[in-house]
């Protein structure tokens, strides 16, 4: 893990590159040529898959599953008895942990206000109705590291918000043609209404357009590959989406009081997600930087996913020695990380300096891995610098607001002429006439 000065870090690991600006590997183009008969990029490949799913429905979903993954699921809808049977394949300790996580996530989100309000006075009534989205679909990847925790962190806030239909869709495993057993069990624990079997762009298309038995939804959530993300972007407007998640990232700010072994452990936990993950330490202490660097290399040798970690630490991770903690916070706010971990002497004293982050983790006992699983807030947080304007998944993502207007004659006569003036200023004479027919 390399140690950088601030200037070189800003040119490299702290420099944001839009996820869709990354060059497409030759292997991806080669595969597209085999599938489509021409060398097209991911954007065009996804467009064609979505168009096919929109036209042919479930048949296209099954065809693309076979063509892309070499798997044809036995059915697109997982039967209830199959979901129940999955408990036998999951360690009871894992089931217990998932139940604990679901309970804590629910308790946290039930504290979040999302309430309708109506105000009555002598002008009449104004207000807002808060109504849940009716149908939500959650995409959960199913690769080498399936993510039942992401299902919990998304489905539970949806349930708290009152969404009446929550569906999960996840790719088939090669040996069974079903989603991973932990995903099936997590779906049962949180009480989703349907579990579907499909992956990639075809899964997003099925949720957006409907592909019987896959029901069309109103909003799609969940992480995934480049192709899944591109598909979400292309169906936005037909359905809502939660965002365009990129590789996961952690930024740690530490001072000389931090335990270098714990700081290293936190960075390694982030780096093991995948080769695109980012794990960055900012510290004004050169001594700590060197201690963490040594600890990272020593601890990495003990970990199962050391090859992935090594690639992540080489590509987009590192340690930055800053002039001060103040500079570290300035750099962090500019970077706008998904996770911001404060391993400093008095983290609460620095909380006011945080402007942009998906989540802030205060001190060595509130580290990011707890947030990944059992702390309570959803771990689905904005990536790629979008924490400048976006928020973690929460109850508000699953509701919509309906404005209520019920004004009386007195207020109509008081404000109607202003509406007429503005309508005529915009050249909308029918608008003006609709007002003028009502006012004296």
Quick check: is 338 catalytic? yes
305: tokens are 């996913």
Q: In terms of DSSP bridges, do strands 399-407 and 124-132 run parallel, antiparallel, or are they unpaired?
A: antiparallel
179 touches 173 (CB < 8 A): yes
3-state helix, strand, coil in the chain (%, to 5): 50, 15, 35
For 303-316, give one letter per residue: b (16+ CB within 10 A) or e.
bebeebbbbbbeeb
Residues contacting residue 400 through CB under 8 Å, at least 6 positions apart: 130, 131, 132, 133
Quick check: is 43 catalytic? no
* Distance (Å, whole) CA 134 – CA 60: 26
* Distance (Å, whole) CA 197 – CA 431: 50
Catalytic residue among 338, 364, 368, 379: 338
284 touches 251 (CB < 8 A): no
Catalytic residue among 109, 273, 339, 379: 339
399 touches 133 (CB < 8 A): yes
Q: How far is CA 331 from CA 5, 336, 354, in A?
A: 12, 9, 11
Give catalytic residues, as residue numbers: 338-339
């Amino acid at each position: 893990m390399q140690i950088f000065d601030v200037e070189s870090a800003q040119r490299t690991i702290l420099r944001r590159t839009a996820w869709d600006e990354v060059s497409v590997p030759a292997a991806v183009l080669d595969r597209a040529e085999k599938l489509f008969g021409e060398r097209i990029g991911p954007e065009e490949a996804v467009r064609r898959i979505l168009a096919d799913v929109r036209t042919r429905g479930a048949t296209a979903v099954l065809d693309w599953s076979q063509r892309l993954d070499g798997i044809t699921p036995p059915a697109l809808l997982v039967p209830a008895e199959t979901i129940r049977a999955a408990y036998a394949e999951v360690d009871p300790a894992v089931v217990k942990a998932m139940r604990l996580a679901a309970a804590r996530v629910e308790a946290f989100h039930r504290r979040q206000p999302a309430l309708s309000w109506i105000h009555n006075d002598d002008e009449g009534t104004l207000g807002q109705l808060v109504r849940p989205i009716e149908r939500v679909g959650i995409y959960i990847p199913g690769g080498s590291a399936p993510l039942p925790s992401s299902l919990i962190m998304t489905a539970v806030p949806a349930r708290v918000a009152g969404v009446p239909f929550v569906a999960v869709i996840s790719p088939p495993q090669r040996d069974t043609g079903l989603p991973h057993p932990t995903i099936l069990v997590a779906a049962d624990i949180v009480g989703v209404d349907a579990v579907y079997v499909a992956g990639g762009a075809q899964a997003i298309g099925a949720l957006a357009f409907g592909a019987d038995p896959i029901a069309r939804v109103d909003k799609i959530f969940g992480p995934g590959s480049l192709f899944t993300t591109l598909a979400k972007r292309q169906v936005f407007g037909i359905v809502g989406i939660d965002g365009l998640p990129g590789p996961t990232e952690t930024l740690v700010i530490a001072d000389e009081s931090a335990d270098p072994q714990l700081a290293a452990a936190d960075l390694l936990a982030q780096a093991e997600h995948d080769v695109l993950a980012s794990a960055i330490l900012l510290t004004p202490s050169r001594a700590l930087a060197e201690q963490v660097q040594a600890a990272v290399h020593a601890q990495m040798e003990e970990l199962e996913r050391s090859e992935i970690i090594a690639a992540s630490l080489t590509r987009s991770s590192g340690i930055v020695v800053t002039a001060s903690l103040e500079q570290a916070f300035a750099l962090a706010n500019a970077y706008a990380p998904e996770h911001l971990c404060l391993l400093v002497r008095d983290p609460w004293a620095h909380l006011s300096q945080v402007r942009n982050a998906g989540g802030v983790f205060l001190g060595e006992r509130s580290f990011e891995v707890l947030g990944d699983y059992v702390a309570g807030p959803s771990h689905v947080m904005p990536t790629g610098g979008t924490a400048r304007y976006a928020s973690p998944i929460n109850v508000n993502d699953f509701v919509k607001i309906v404005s209520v207007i019920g004004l009386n004659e007195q207020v109509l006569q008081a404000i109607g002429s202003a509406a007429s003036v503005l309508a005529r200023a915009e050249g909308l004479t029918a608008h003006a006439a609709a007002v003028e027919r009502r006012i004296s």
